[in-house]
């Protein structure tokens, strides 16, 4: 019944959304690739015949092998109360998670607009152009959307959906943290425009289990191998 | 009970994945924005207070407003038998759909690697670089993955999951059709390498309801405003 999480061992990356859901709901899990022989185990599962993942992260439990962040979170959300039980709330939570996933792709592509398998240094000019558009157009559009959702929540602005914590809240926290690391100047200019988004970031960080997790060695620091990378040239 | 689909009226785009699921399962639906005053109705729903979508497509039915393609398909799949009922098959179908969605983003970004709100003509050099990587690295990786999944299916190579049609099959059909339109030369070189992927494309096209749909006026032709665009310069 203990969860096995498979993800790259030296970055937060997409695995972090799963880690946050496991931590916030108090689950026992093993971050397999950070342990002995973990990389070999991950490679083995990826080339396995049954329900092979296209890419990490994936979660192994009870004979299931589940990949894709939004899918893993829906699975965990159902099981551990991180998703509303009513259909309207459930489908909306899943929609928000998928919208956050879209934002994550765009944040990644600011430093890799040409190809993931090239270095950032091989696509500097393209990255500068893409980042300029991201900061000016996309970031305000996404953050403005989540601000609207918080303000419109009939149960109050403390959560994206309903009156309780969902994985969409946790993921918004993570995205805002990542964006603040990658684009500190741009985010600083936006603090007052999206007050409820940043208030949610702060309240998630203060949740006892999340606070303990963030202070632990289990939380890998942001770095320039992950999705959210800080390059001065991309934050002017 | 009739479905209302909201999407841009002149492109297949992401709406097409939803149209195919509705058509294949024989649902009555209204493609609202293609009708009178449809655009105003879509705009109204997007700025509505309750569970607002970030972007089209979205589906309205029974008091629910559901956005994000993978989410809409999971909803329709559960209701209309386009998803296995066993957990393993269900989560895997959803994973495959999300992987197809990732491929769709990458196919789109071949012609818009810098910004969606600029013209293709404003990012010609970047598009050429990104397309080269897409054709050489990403396309074989994705098509090879779906070929592996088909070959590994214990119920046979006719479907991605289990022994029956799922929306993942429909979506793979659509992606292969789109890629064949956008990159005819690259796809022609790949026909023999991924025989089961192309056989699935053909068998979906031959399904009576899909065949009728494709021959109807409801099927919008591919064009250079959609996700899959043909530019000679990107298919060398």
pLDDT tens, position by position, A129-174: 999 999 999 999 999 999 999 999 999 999 999 999 999 999 999 9
What's the pLDDT score for residue A220? 98
Whether A97 and A192 share a structural domain: yes
At a CB cut-off of 8 Å and minimum separation 6, what does A78 contact? none
End-to-end CA distance of chain B: 48
Q: Please, which pLDDT band fits residue A208 given cuts at 50, 70 and 90?
A: very high
Whether A117 and A169 share a structural domain: yes
Whole-model pTM: value is 0.98
Q: Which CATH number covers residue B159?
A: 1.20.1050.10
In a domain, B67, yes or no: no
Q: What is the mean pLDDT of chain A?
A: 96
- Reported as half-sphere exposure (CB side, CA atoms, 13 A), residue A64 has a value of 22
- The secondary structure of A102-154, three-state, reads HHHHHHHHHHCCCCCCCCHHHHHHHHHHHHHHHHHHHHHHHHHHHHHHHHHCC
Is residue A67 a contact partner of residue B88, using CB atoms and an 8 Å limit?
Answer: no
| DSSP notation for A12-29 | -TTHHHHHHHHHHTT--E
Whether A125 and A46 share a structural domain: no
Is residue A186 a contact partner of residue A192, using CB atoms and an 8 Å limit?
Answer: no
| DSSP notation for B101-126 | HHHHHHHHHHH-SS-TTS-GGGGHHH
In a domain, A221, yes or no: no
Interface of A with B in 32-51 (CB under 8 A): 49-51
Whether A116 and A14 share a structural domain: no
User: Mutate which of A98, A132, A150, A151 to test chain B, going by most B C-beta atoms within 10 A?
Assistant: A98
Which residue, A80, A110, A128, sits at the end of a domain?
A80
In a domain, B74, yes or no: no
User: Mutate which of B53, B92, B101 to test chain A, going by most A C-beta atoms within 10 A?
Assistant: B92
Q: Please, which pLDDT band fits residue B93 given cuts at 50, 70 and 90?
A: very high
What's the pLDDT score for residue A49? 82
Is A197 a residue whose pLDDT tops 70?
yes
Q: Pick from B50, B71, B94: which is nearest to A91 by CB?
A: B71
Q: Which CATH number covers residue A38?
A: 3.40.30.10
Which residue, A59, A80, A101, sits at the end of a domain?
A80
In a domain, B186, yes or no: yes
Q: Do B114 and A129 touch (CB under 8 A)?
A: yes
Q: Please, which pLDDT band fits residue A59 given cuts at 50, 70 and 90?
A: very high
Nearest-CA distance B117 → chain A (Å) = 9
In a domain, B3, yes or no: no
Whether A57 and A100 share a structural domain: no
In a domain, B175, yes or no: yes
Whether A32 and A134 share a structural domain: no
The DSSP letter of residue A34 is G
What's the pLDDT score for residue A48? 79
Q: What is the mean pLDDT of chain B?
A: 96
Whether A107 and A46 share a structural domain: no
In a domain, B5, yes or no: no
pLDDT tens, position by position, A61-76: 999 999 999 999 999 9
Q: Are strands A3-6 and A29-31 parallel, antiparallel or unpaired?
A: parallel
pLDDT tens, position by position, B136-147: 999 999 999 999
B136 touches chain A (CB under 8 A): no
The number of distinct structural domains making up chain A is 2
Q: At what angle do helices A15-24 and A167-182 cross, to 10 degrees?
A: 130
pLDDT tens, position by position, B167-184: 999 999 999 999 999 999
Q: Which two tokens stand for residue B141?
A: 């990786």
Is A50 a residue whose pLDDT tops 90?
no
What's the pLDDT score for residue A1? 61
What's the pLDDT score for residue B1? 60
Q: Is the ipTM of this complex over 0.95?
A: yes
Q: Please, which pLDDT band fits residue B50 given cuts at 50, 70 and 90?
A: confident
Is B38 a residue whose pLDDT tops 80?
yes
Report the C-alpha gap between A169 and A97 in whole angstroms. 9
Which residue, A80, A96, A122, sits at the end of a domain?
A80
Whether A155 and A92 share a structural domain: yes
Whether A96 and A197 share a structural domain: yes
- Mean pLDDT within B112-140: 95
Whether A140 and A73 share a structural domain: no
- The counts of H helices and E strands in chain A are 10, 4
Whether A119 and A72 share a structural domain: no
Range of the domain at A152: 87-207
Q: Do B52 and A88 touch (CB under 8 A)?
A: no
In a domain, A231, yes or no: no
Q: Pick from B63, B74, B88: which is nearest to A51 by CB?
A: B88
Whether A91 and A76 share a structural domain: no
């Amino acid at each position: 019944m203990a969860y096995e999480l498979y993800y790259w061992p030296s970055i937060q990356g997409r695995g972090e959304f799963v880690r946050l859901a496991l931590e916030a709901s108090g689950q026992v899990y093993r971050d397999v690739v950070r342990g002995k022989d973990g990389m070999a185990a991950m490679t083995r599962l990826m080339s396995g015949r049954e329900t092979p993942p296209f890419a990490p992260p994936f979660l192994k439990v009870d004979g299931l092998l589940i990949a894709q962040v939004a899918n893993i979170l829906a699975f965990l959300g159902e099981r551990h109360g991180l998703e509303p039980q009513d259909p309207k709330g459930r489908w909306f939570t899943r929609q928000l998670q998928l919208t956050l996933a879209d934002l994550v792709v765009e944040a990644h592509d600011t430093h890799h607009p040409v190809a993931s398998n090239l270095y950032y240094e091989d696509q500097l000019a393209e990255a500068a152009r893409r980042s300029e558009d991201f900061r000016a157009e996309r970031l305000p559009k996404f953050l403005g959307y989540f601000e609207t959702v918080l303000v419109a929540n009939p149960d109050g602005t403390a959560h994206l959906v309903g009156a309780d914590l969902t994985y969409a809240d946790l993921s918004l926290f993570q995205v805002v943290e990542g964006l603040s690391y990658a684009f500190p100047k741009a985010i600083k200019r936006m603090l007052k425009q999206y007050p409820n988004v940043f208030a949610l970031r702060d309240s998630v960080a203060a949740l006892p289990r999340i606070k303990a997790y963030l202070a632990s060695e289990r939380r890998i620091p942001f770095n320039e191998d992950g999705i959210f990378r800080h390059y001065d040239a991309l934050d002017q």
